Amino acid sequence: MYQLHDMRKLLDCTLTEQQFALLIGRCRMYNHLPYAMKQEIQPLMLTDTQLGAVVRDYYRDDSFCRDSQGNINLWRLYNLFTGINKSSYIDMFLQRGVNAYRFVESIRWALEKKEEHWFLH
């Protein structure tokens, strides 16, 4: 029940187009960071190809794309992440799905608490 409550909160948090662009750029940088830096940052288990699909769907997905001002709520972002995860091999599917939820949840928490988040800083 607690997780369902937290998932509903994703509807109330929104990223601007600039924040989304920064997020995607930082996501692409993450895989190339030195090991020591990665240890301090919430991981994201998506590939560059998958991130490209997230960006494509940010503009084109009929159900989960941005709004007319370019903003996207975290529920839609979570669905974009889990949607592209469907192309993962079965051995990584569950791990990446859980990782996507934890990642988006960490963004929600940072936005609500007005704290820094490496992917949005």
> How far apart are the C-alpha atoms of 55 and 22, rounded to whole Å?
12
Q: How confident is the model at residue 1 (pLDDT cuts 50, 70, 90)?
A: low
> How far apart are the C-alpha atoms of 111 and 13, rounded to whole Å?
7
What residues pair up with 15 in beta bridges, in sequence order?
72
Instruction: Please give the model's pTM, rounded to 2 decimal places.
Output: 0.90
Strands (E) located in 49-99:
72-73
The residue count for the chain: 121
> How far apart are the C-alpha atoms of 81 and 53, rounded to whole Å?
9
Query: Which pair of structure tokens corresponds to residue 75?
Result: 């529920």
pLDDT at 16 over 90: yes
pLDDT at 121 over 90: no
Residue type, 80: L
Domains in the chain: boundaries: 2-120
